[in-house]
Amino acid sequence: MHPRHAALYGLVIALGGCATIVAGQNETVTIVSEPTGATVTFRDAARKLNDVECVTPCEIELPRSTYRTTVEMAGYSPFTYQITPRTTLGRSILSAGSSYAAIIDSDSGADKALLPRSVTVDLAPAGGRSTATDEKGDLMRTLDYGAS
């Protein structure tokens, strides 16, 4: 084995399990709306966690779980979307050192990222169609097709 490869492999083993240390069990998500002052409700799809709310613009730390997220304000059509923990390449590499590390990171959720992490919602007046974009600027679909 080439010395550089051996050193790299040793580094991966030594850092195995670091996704839990680096990423922790929670992740920060950001919600912005136009107009500001909308209520955002994060409802855990598994119903193991209590609903969490914030008012836009908001930055909130959430445990890694799947959330049905609704942005709403009186006089405007709501926008509902899903936040989902997804495995990312960078965090998978951190977990690659050993099967033990992968188990720890998988159990803590640290091998996944909550996506989308940042959402901008344009609320339409009641009866209109509210829209949203994610951190990449991609248009998102609402889960409540009849509501907005």
CATH code for the domain of 75: 2.60.40
Whether residue 36 is contained in a domain is answered as: yes
Q: What mean pLDDT do residues 58-87 have?
A: 94
Task: Tell me if 12 sits within 8 A of 100, measured CB to CB.
Answer: no
Range of the domain at 99: 3-134
Task: Tell me if 109 sits within 8 A of 63, measured CB to CB.
Answer: yes
Round to whole Å and give the CA distance between 71 and 120: 10
Helix (H, G, I), strand (E, B) or coil at 64: coil
Q: Show the tokens assigned to 131.
A: 């829209």
**Residue 132, pLDDT above cutoff 60:** yes
Q: Tell me, what's the pLDDT at 123?
A: 97
Q: Rounded mean pLDDT of the chain?
A: 79
Q: Tell me, what's the pLDDT at 112?
A: 81
Q: Tell me, what's the pLDDT at 47?
A: 80
pLDDT tens string 87-98: 766 555 555 555
Q: What is the pTM of this model?
A: 0.71
pLDDT tens string 52-70: 999 999 999 999 889 999 9
- How many structural domains are present in the chain? 1
Whether residue 147 is contained in a domain is answered as: no
Whether residue 144 is contained in a domain is answered as: no
**Of residues 59 and 114, more confidently modeled:** 59
- To the nearest whole percent, how much of the chain has pLDDT over 90? 50
**Residue 8, pLDDT above cutoff 80:** no
Whether residue 145 is contained in a domain is answered as: no
Whether residue 104 is contained in a domain is answered as: yes
DSSP for residue 48: -
Whether residue 130 is contained in a domain is answered as: yes
Whether residue 88 is contained in a domain is answered as: yes
Whether residue 101 is contained in a domain is answered as: yes
As to burial, measured by CB atoms within 10 angstroms (0-12 exposed, 13-18 middle, 19+ buried), residue 139 is exposed
Cα–Cα nearest to 29, from 6, 5, 59, 9: 59
